[in-house]
Copies of this chain bind each other. A is one copy, B any other.
Amino acid sequence: MKIAILTIGDELCIGQIINTNAAWMAQACTEIGGIVYRHVTIQDGIEELLYELNILSKECDCILMSGGLGPTHDDKTKETLIAYFNDTLILHEQTLQSLKARARLRGLPLNQRNMDQALVPSTCTVLENPRGTAPGMLFHVDDTIYVSLPGVPSEMKGIMQDHVLPYLRKNIEQEDGKIPYYHTILTKGIPESALADLIGAPEDFLQTDESLAFLPSYQGVRLRLGILSSHPDHAKNRLGELQTILHSKVGTYIYGYGNATLLSVTTDILIQKQCTIGVVESCTGGMLGAEFTKQSGSSTYFLGGLQTYSNALKIQLAHVSPKTLEQFGAVSKEVAEEMAIGGRKVLNTSYCLSITGIAGPEGGTEEKPVGTVWIALASEHDIVSKRFNFGGDRSINRERSVMQSIAMLHDALISRK
């Protein structure tokens, strides 16, 4: 099933918001065996949407739309679908009742704009939206599936999971053809080009319908193996064989597989070795703690931390010596190590990571330019620290500081007895 993802909205087009919906929808469709061959984002507008529907419907089996279903004048999707399918609006009683119930529950009046959201094209299947006011709509016309969903991420995701993905999966399973299977291998500590050299020409070990993609990121390079097959078992076995081949070439750089991340792999080892972690953060202001706690169940390994942004709090909370601060400055090996050692004692954890750096754009010097970051890791047994320079961008400096901290913890954990 060839799927196009069509996101609608001026705010997306002019870049005022980042298009997280398209990525989420694409990933969900890929997981059930759909082939997402294109994303398109267009402005709010009837002509724009009609033009795109005409193009995409010739090329693909399914068009997933999100956006343009809100209650204001710039929301045009429903009006456009009426024109495109030459349809008329009818009242959907169940939606009206749930709009009324929702307004009652929240003690809000129900205005005409809201009530109009219960009007739907007569030929669509209405997809309930308990998280919001505008229902989703599904049209299955001449072997092409059209789905229109709200732009609010939680509402879009809810309707996708409850209605759209099961419907698409059923249709994909009825197809005769091959569907894609993927397997991802995660590496760290080696640049893309060196990895490609070690792996050699992919055509030497890949057969027809097989592919290898290099996906670089701050966490390292992911190697994504792909295979088009009509037999799930064959695909699985063959992906296993290909993994073995890659393992023999670059095994020392592999830290995980599939949907794992450096974070999930690292915290799995923390749990398995019954260790805990705490943090002392300066330039990241709390990002490292936020990262450790983004997974459910994080209280098993993460106890807490100290956001010592000011020097006074570095002294007061993490017991950094005022002399060390004065002699070496806040961004130094010595202060980073004292932060981690002091933090570990206060937080009473197996490990403690500290980060102190010049995130920028202000505050750099010739000796310590913007992007200079010291990260230290204290354990029961020792203290290690590293200096990094991540360059001039404040948000990249902070993100990479978090990633490198987790990489240092991962290194320490895999060598832990």
Q: Spot the interface stretch: A165-173, A228-236, A379-387, A389-397.
A: A389-397
Chain A positions 272-305 with a Cβ under 8 Å from a chain B Cβ: 279, 281, 283-294, 296-299, 302-305
Interface assignment of A72: CB less than 8 Å from any CB of chain B: yes
Majority secondary structure of chain A interface residues (helix, strand, loop or mixed): mixed
- Shortest Cβ distance from residue A350 to the other chain B in the assembled complex, whole angstroms: 14
CB distance from A160 to the nearest CB of B (A): 12
Q: Mark A201-218, 1 if CB is under 8 A from B, else 0.
A: 110000000011111110
A30 in complex: contacting residue of B15, B71, B194, CB < 8 Å: B15
Distance in angstroms between the alpha carbons of A131 and B396 in the assembled complex: 13
- Across the interface, A15 reaches (CB within 8 A) one of B24, B284, B299, B348, namely B24
Answer whether residue A81 sits at the interface, using C-beta atoms and an 8 A cutoff.
Answer: no
> CA of A304 to CA of B25 in the docked complex: distance in angstroms?
38
Q: Given A213-B44, A217-B17, A309-B302, are A192 and B296 also a contact pair (CB < 8 Å)?
A: no
Residue pair B18, A19 in contact (C-beta under 8 Å): yes
Complex partner residue of A306 from B25, B131, B296, B306, CB under 8 angstroms: B306
The reply to whether A70 and B216 form a contact with Cβ atoms under 8 Å apart is: yes
Decide if B294 touches A307 in the complex (CB within 8 Å): no
Q: Which residues of B contact A286 (CB under 8 A)?
A: 279, 281, 285-290, 293, 305, 307
In Å, the complex CA distance between A27 and B224 comes to: 31
In contact, A290 and B296 (Cβ under 8 angstroms): no
A299 to chain B, nearest CB (A): 6
Closest Cβ of chain B to A260, distance in Å, is 13
Tell me the nearest residue of chain B to A27, going by C-beta.
B15
